[in-house]
Structure 1
Amino acid sequence: MSLTPAFLDELRARTLLSGLIAKSVKLQKAGREFRACCPFHNEKTPSFYVNDDKGFYHCFGCSAHGDAIRWMTEQRGLPFIDAVKELAQAAGMEMPEQDRQSAAKAERAKGLHEAMADAAAWFSEKLAGIEGAEARALLKKRAVTEETARTFGLGFSPDSRGKLRQALKGYGDEMLVEAGLLISQEEKDPYDRFRGRLMIPIRDVRGRAIAFGGRIIGDGEPKYLNSPETPLFDKGRTLYNLDRAQAAARKSGRVIVVEGYMDVIALAQAGFDEAVAPLGTALTEHQLERLWRMAEVPLLCFDGDAAGQKAALRAAHRALPMLQPGRSLAFVTLPEGLDPDDLVRSKGAPAFEALLAKPQPLADRLWQSEVASGPLTTPEQRAGLKQRLTDLAGQIGDPNVKSEYLAEFRQRLDTHFGRGQREFQPRGSFQAARPARGKRNARGGWQPPELPPGVAMRGVQLGGLDPILAKAVLAGLLRHPAEIARHMEVLGSLRSASGALGKLFEAVIEVALEDRQLDSGKVLTILAKSGFDSVASDLLRADTLPFSFARPNGADEARAREDLSEAIAVMVALPAVDAALAQATAALAMEGSEEGAFTRQVALSRKRKELEARLANLMLADDEEFDD
């Protein structure tokens, strides 16, 4: 199947974006746009906008951005081709024809889906009948209500080698074997795979049954039996309850990973619909990627026994190469001997919520594990700990995150062995702020610090922008338009700046919202149509700071972008510091001023000097580069 750009453009044109989004989000008219509280993160003030004319949505709080197809893949969790198919059907468009091989494969998959759906219905029917009495008793013992059982499609497979085969004989043995419902042996008739078990359907992101987990009713092994790998089911890429958890995770802002089916079911019944579970294996890279699409910091809540904690540590190690700024894992440790199912049944949802409120950061879990792995009384043992921690940090692919972990582990080592001056404070929250400082990475370029957008906005409103620095940043953005999208969240706060600079920042952001594949020529052309042509040209000619220069032959573009990131950080931090410093100075001048006013003034003055030094270093670094 070939989806041409023309077909996709026509599909977008025929889809009313606000109508699509309004099916799951309450929209309010705001001029020519619609607005709402963002469905991708928790907020109280609407910052999510939908523009039908331009065919995109954008959130100025979390930077979620996309068109109708992106909405279906990100908000609904559909694969790309399924999203296109659903939109095309709603728009009355015919999908492009498939080649013969693809068509045959799609037809085969359709038959397998139908067989699995009929099997799930048959299992549910048996659970409700006479044969399902023991399974119903087990559910009652586990405090699973009838409503919850219906929600998860629970069923029962009779202890028979051929009842399911007979019930679904219309599909033929070959298809039922391919679906994993029958077991085939040479020179013998196929027979039912699941016998005498509580049946738990495993669904894909669209809610279709693609496999089953079967729990034994009484004693025996294995306790759980899963479907084999099939054309529909890849256990390393699937998470149990993913179809229900995706929407819940968007509302709660978190996703909880537990070990088993019954943990997920018990948590959902207790009000935690955002729980998922791997399928009898350690978390894979594909599953971690899926989790990070749902939340930046998934919460791993494995059993409190040794096996559960070992599984959590395995997941921590597997995640290291994939870490990125803002993307990590956190760990919720249960009381020893309890799993989430036990906890919510014995102590209730508030007890579990209290544990979720105090997760252990990934760095803490790694540190704790290595420190506890053996004695640390000799220099050699301490050197061994240092080497192990360095090796762990070395697995991290992102250079900025790797640098932070190395620095973090060095600080902890110094503190732990009495060599450090600063007392280590365990992080209780992933939102804990750290002083924003620029520093050189391995290539000698600046690593941009992160500044919360709310802080930037308040600073701009209170202190205004430094005009020289702001012009330099705008010139840099015009030369490197790709950086606009990268810093969209912070730049969005500059729309509140007054005067011509604020209007130009707003115009540049609007340009980037319309087209993320921009070059300098395109930006200038679009700005010219909005009356900003002369201003933009003047900025490019001014060359107010070295990083905004037009470098010969495009030399060291990466360095220029890093310097631009550092300049943006300094630009938005300066107004906030200046405003706070002015307030502290005024407070100090008043009679009877509080004792802390002088301390604040000194600290803010020091911070002001740090920002000036960062800017000076930025200019010096560029000067050195040109001298070379």
Structure 2
Amino acid sequence: MLYKIPKSFINELLINTNIVELISSKINTIKKGKNYYSICPFHNEKTPSFSISFEKQFYYCFGCHVHGNAIDFLINYEKMNFIESIKELSFLNGMKIPKQNIYFKKYLKEENLHNTLNTISLNYQKNIYKEKNKIAIKYLKYRGINEKSIKTFSIGYSNNIKNVSKNYIKKNKNFVNNLIKSGILYNEKNIVKNRFTERIMFPIKNLQGKINGFGARSIFKKIPKYLNSPETKIFKKKENLYGLFETYKYNKKIKKLLIVEGYFDVITLFQNKIKYSISILGTSINTNIIKKLFNICNTLIYCYDGDNAGKIASWKTLEISLPYIKDENVLKFIFLPKGEDPDSIIKKEGIKKFKNRIKNAVPMSKLLFKKLLKKNNLSNPEEKTKFSITAISMIEKIPGKTIKFFLKKILGNKLGILEINELSEYKIKKKNIVSSKKKKKILV
């Protein structure tokens, strides 16, 4: 049976909550007339446009139009889920949630898995300091990871036990079942096995610091070198970001994000005081991640590894980001030398040079035209036509009117067109070409 929190209790909770006190405890506010104002915590701005009404117990931003009540604020600002926000407000108001209706069944199952992963993570963290596992610490030191980082990122080590004994399973049946559900253990021909034997363990946390899954690095040349938790109810590889919890923890306001590929990249950057770095789990970027990142901040800087896969990933990232580039959003790219990643290049060049790489990151507009011009030399009308159709189709995907205007202006200059309005002819031609192709298919 699924349980819900009674609506009457939620309404009573909101009535007893002073939204002004709640928000003022999180951000700086100033009273102007009846309402309170602040710099909006959900988008970058210089003039305060975020208003809080005591009378309505409601907040509204005149800049980005975000709005809501006390529950909405905790969900959006503290990154809590609905149940967690109710628990937080209940605690602040000294109110008890009706016991028989506290949780959804789904939420209970997820909490159970989170608790299991937290328990096993603590076990991994203890393992790393055991004498028999000193090779793990030795390896981390070899990679330049210091003691503080080991604790900050809760790094651990999975021991050399490959198969779980039947006696242990019998005594810890529920715990073992949860470890199987969370992907730590797996069953093969009635033998329960450890998925991450002899691997360095990197917990992948959500915004509340709860562990969704693990990334694991072999130190004995096992294949694959890196292994992630399998897909579970709380872990989806395409939806998770490594280092996001730590980034929120060490930044009052996130102004920019540096997106890299590896766990060691994030940790090395943090050690060098670049505490706004996160890692996607592999080079597989997707629209959900793009939207999530732009919701966190307006400036995204991608730094993929300096190999062919990294270059392909950069272009793919640019293409799928276009529909989410508003005028306030900035998208940039760092291209490292072949065979290098942030971890390796910092050790070779030093952090000062890497910071210069961040400073001189390639803007989206420059990469867009550089890539398109590489395939078209514009030496004849046919090349210009092909180039313009491709470029316009990509520019039109961008919702930001100002950035779209300037991109069209750059395109016009490259084509030798002085008036931007003349580019509309190319747009019309492109539509005609597409429609004629569709007609041909129908005739066939």
Shorter-chain TM-score category? 0.7 to 0.9
Report if aligned partners of 1:204, 1:242 keep a CA contact under 8 Å in 2. Answer: yes
* Percent identity for Structure 1 against Structure 2: 27
Which of 72, 75, 81 does residue 74 from structure 2 map onto?
72
2:368 corresponds to: 366
Note the C-alpha offset of 1:22.
Answer: 4.3
| Structure with higher RCO (Cα < 8 A, 6+ apart) | 2
1:181 counterpart = 2:184: yes
Q: 1:414 to 1:41 in 2, by over 3 A?
A: closer
Report if aligned partners of 1:259, 1:277 keep a CA contact under 8 Å in 2. Answer: yes
Note the C-alpha offset of 1:154.
Answer: 0.1
Letter of the aligned partner of 2:284 in structure 1? A
1:133 corresponds to: 134
1:560 corresponds to: none
2:27 corresponds to: 25
Which of 55, 58, 64 does residue 57 from structure 2 map onto?
55
2-side partners of 1:118 and 1:353: how far apart? Answer: 38
Note the C-alpha offset of 1:139.
Answer: 1.5
Report if aligned partners of 1:40, 1:251 keep a CA contact under 8 Å in 2. Answer: no
Show CA shifts across 1:556-604 (max 9, x none). xxxxxxxxxxxxxxxxxxxxxxxxxxxxxxxxxxxxxxxxxxxxxxxxx
2:334 corresponds to: 332
Greater strand content: 2
Q: 1:393 to 1:270 in 2, by over 3 A?
A: same
After TM superposition, the score normalised by the length of structure 1 is 0.59
1:199 corresponds to: 201
Q: What is the 5 A alignment of 1:201-350?
A: 201-246=203-248, 251-327=253-329, 329-350=331-352
The structure whose Rg is larger is 1
1:388 counterpart = 2:390: yes
Question: Unaligned stretches of 5+ in structure 2?
Answer: 428-444
2-side partners of 1:29 and 1:409: how far apart? Answer: 42
RMSD between aligned alpha carbons? 3.5
Other structure's SS at 2:217 match: strand
Report if aligned partners of 1:34, 1:51 keep a CA contact under 8 Å in 2. Answer: yes
Note the C-alpha offset of 1:224.
Answer: 0.7
Show CA shifts across 1:330-375 (max 9, x none). 2233344432223444444443333333333323222211112355
2-side partners of 1:376 and 1:137: how far apart? Answer: 56
Other structure's SS at 1:332 match: strand
1:412 corresponds to: 410
Report if aligned partners of 1:299, 1:359 keep a CA contact under 8 Å in 2. Answer: yes
2:123 corresponds to: 122
1:169 corresponds to: 172
1:157 corresponds to: 158
Question: Unaligned stretches of 5+ in structure 1?
Answer: 425-438, 443-628
2-side partners of 1:303 and 1:174: how far apart? Answer: 38
Show CA shifts across 1:382-421 (max 9, x none). 3322232233335x274x65x964x65554344335x245
Other structure's SS at 1:144 match: coil
2-side partners of 1:268 and 1:163: how far apart? Answer: 36
Note the C-alpha offset of 1:81.
Answer: 3.8
2-side partners of 1:409 and 1:43: how far apart? Answer: 24
2:149 corresponds to: 148
Other structure's SS at 1:183 match: strand
Letter of the aligned partner of 1:326 in structure 2? E
Report if aligned partners of 2:116, 2:175 keep a CA contact under 8 Å in 1. Answer: no
2-side partners of 1:135 and 1:234: how far apart? Answer: 27
Q: 1:285 to 1:177 in 2, by over 3 A?
A: same
Q: 1:363 to 1:97 in 2, by over 3 A?
A: farther
Report if aligned partners of 1:282, 1:315 keep a CA contact under 8 Å in 2. Answer: no
After TM superposition, the score normalised by the length of structure 2 is 0.81
2-side partners of 1:130 and 1:371: how far apart? Answer: 58
1:624 corresponds to: none
Q: 1:63 to 1:117 in 2, by over 3 A?
A: same
Aligned residues: 417
